[in-house]
Chains A and B, each alone.
Chain A
């Protein structure tokens, strides 16, 4: 009873954090002699002002939904999976292998197959840290972060030595066959006679990501497995008492988490690049941590936070393109948002709680 209402915690806290982050960003921009107002306008115009901007924003959003969900699922078992980056990389390898294995006749067949490949490879990459955590107590934060580096090295090797087409100078796989090209949302809009988001990378994977949000919600709050995952996350002795095997649930939660991170590759590898390149993930695995934090590990929150970070990514790109604000500053802005919504969460929440308490007391008096 001592707390503020849930809506305030879920909506007001991140919102105020966001405003604070924007305020400080504005001051930084002022300090380098640019106009924060113009910067904000450029970002909003660039990311949300046209269907073209939206096409990119939603493309990034799709990436962040998958990596955000990955962190959220693991977090419910109190496992801090910061290996989304590596799992998504290896998921990309799975996608590439599936797409290049057969002359796929139609994307409708290639997509489910590639999804299986992506999820399996991503899950496999999470399996070893999960097993080490469950059986040996090796801390999952340490092992997953090390596996990010191993994944990068592995991909480097595979692309340069194994998958690079003969004679190519580029450390990338061959292009995927025509039948493995995913329909873009702009293409789908054109089919029904709408002109929307021409030449943007957002593709059908966005819908898959939305579906994933719903499925994760069902998993966590409606399924028995989710119940057991949450129980283990809250208290391991209680889980043991209830006959829930910590080893089994730890491994399963990490497999699902890794699988979700791997699924991101459907978007960037299959949907956008249509071949596997080096560093295809571009930090989306790490953004996923901030997305999950800000989204309170709830699929709907993850969706909203992913949208925000999609906007920051696309808007930031526009900022670099159209103003003389250096690219590095965009990273500063993104970092500030992460800092305030994630790490400094309590800084906003505690005063807010106090205000609500004071209001309640006054209301009673």
Chain B
């Protein structure tokens, strides 16, 4: 569908060359064609979104642009000049800067030291540091990129670390900034701030390429958007002339329901009663500071919050595997029975036997053994079940048959149980885990970040299964950093901040703004209306909580 590209030049098409122009870029990894004949034109001074499912080839394309991979075919033009980008140094010299999804910062260096890393001039650091300090002051004033230059990285919030990455790129004279999934780790307020920064950069004539899978961000901030699917560029359109529904359909290749359809909950008896749960980790940091809530049969309790505010610890503790050396207190009752919190029957196997299923937040290090086959993984955690064992040995035939059935039910592709888990896409890996846990029909399902790194088609599927489980009268505890997901799935929403539950809301009676404030530790909701959901410039989230709590 290359023909759609031609009219995206917009106002810049007539005269000025494009900031970035790709012509016929192709790249194969072995038998996998990651990029197929890609054309892309990014006009100067615009924000250009690139959207696509996982594995659609977005990251490969950007890595080619940044000199990490060499394309098999095709041509790259930067500001109208053909350029062979052999390594990232060439890209930087051409004015291309990249902000990776996983920051590349030295944790125990200061902000300044990180900024000059790799571009130090001379043998002594002092002149370079002084120069960078001056530059930072200027950039901070111009683009609201305020960061304390003398703070070490590990003292900074995630949002500030991201600003350091942007500063690094700007300090290297980047005119074209590529951001890979920049909002994945941010609160709504931090994301808004980032977008204000990007708008400012655009106003100064910088070109920004934003890679994301969030349709809302594309709609909010970009001028043009290109959609990738299975290694091909399927469309490039002006953002103003498209809709989220159309983009989703282009991404997946079929119609997608963006909103989850569900009937009102029919809550039954209390399944899980959590009282005053506390957890202090082995570095004596209080991770849970007295969590209490109930979940009834047939309802979904959603826990919203920025990651790192105790949700992980809560899930792990409920699932029976708190981190090593943690001290815990409080009580958990499951179907009216007290659960062992610390003793020999507090492990994950006992929890499963009590009817608790668990889709962990991190499927790659917890939920799956990446080098095990799919069938071995589908028994994982339930490998002691009598139907999977035959005398002293495991009944591999029975496990394989069970895995085949589950892969069929959950439409896991490719449907090959002998393939290692790592060879499945993110969405299909997640389907393996969800299938394993849901098909056991647990009384309570703990599910953390159910759709992190999962493509849109699979998101829809997994959401449906969660609702089905609820409608079958089971309790669900949903933890997610995606507010949209929490809002669309939950029957009740609890917001966690700094190891506490800041409040409970009903999804129909709250707003993203209000939840965003709670996520930042502000409980005073009257204040929320005044500031329209965006807290004042908060340098450290902790400061805000200190004032409010």
Contacts and interface: CB of A to CB of B under 8 A. Distances in A.
Interface of A: 1-2, 218, 222-224, 227-228, 230-231, 234-235, 237-238, 240-245, 357, 360-361, 364
Interface residues of B, number: 35
A361 to B, nearest CB: 8
A243 B393 contact: no
A2 B362 CA distance: 25
Contacts of A1: 30-32, 423
Contact of B348 (A218, A227, A240): A240
Given A1-B30, A238-B365, A245 B383 contact: no
B344 to A, nearest CB: 10
Contacts of B370: 234-235
Contacts of B372: 230-231, 234
Contact of A241 (B319, B389, B394): B319
A227 B358 contact: no
Given A1-B31, A241-B319, A360-B30, 8 more contacts: A230-B369, A231-B372, A234-B371, A237-B362, A241-B348, A242-B348, A245-B347, A364-B31
B366 A235 contact: yes
A241 B383 CA distance: 13
B168 to A, nearest CB: 32
Contacts of A227: 376, 383, 394
Nearest to B381: A242
List the 3 shortest-distance A-B pairs measured between CB atoms, nearest first. A243-B349, A243-B348, A242-B381
Contact of B393 (A222, A228, A244): A222
Contacts of A364: 31
A3 to B, nearest CB: 9
Nearest to B423: A1
Contacts of A357: 30
B69 interface: no
Interface centre among A218, A237, A361 (most CB of B within 10 A): A237
Interface of B: 29-32, 319-321, 347-352, 358, 360, 362, 365-372, 376, 380-381, 383-384, 389, 392-394, 396, 423
A235 B365 CA distance: 6
A360 B28 CA distance: 13
Contacts of A243: 320-321, 347-352, 381
B365 A237 contact: yes
A356 to B, nearest CB: 10
A235 B380 CA distance: 12
B369 A224 contact: no
A286 B358 CA distance: 43
12 contacts: A1-B32, A2-B32, A222-B394, A224-B384, A224-B393, A234-B370, A234-B372, A238-B367, A240-B366, A241-B381, A243-B347, A364-B31
Interface centre among B358, B360, B365, B376 (most CB of A within 10 A): B365
A87 to B, nearest CB: 25
B31 A360 contact: yes
Contacts of A237: 321, 362, 365-366
A249 to B, nearest CB: 12
A224 B383 contact: yes
A175 B29 CA distance: 65
Contact of A238 (B352, B368, B389, B393): B368
B350 A241 contact: no
A223 B367 contact: no
Contacts of A235: 365-366, 369-370
A241 B32 contact: no
A243 B344 CA distance: 11
Nearest to A247: B324
A224 B381 contact: no
A357 B29 CA distance: 10
Contact of B366 (A222, A230, A241): A241
A228 B349 CA distance: 13
A289 to B, nearest CB: 22
Given A222-B396, A224-B383, A240 B321 contact: yes
Nearest to A241: B366
A2 B321 contact: no
Contacts of B360: 241
A221 B32 CA distance: 31
Contacts of B369: 230-231, 234-235, 238
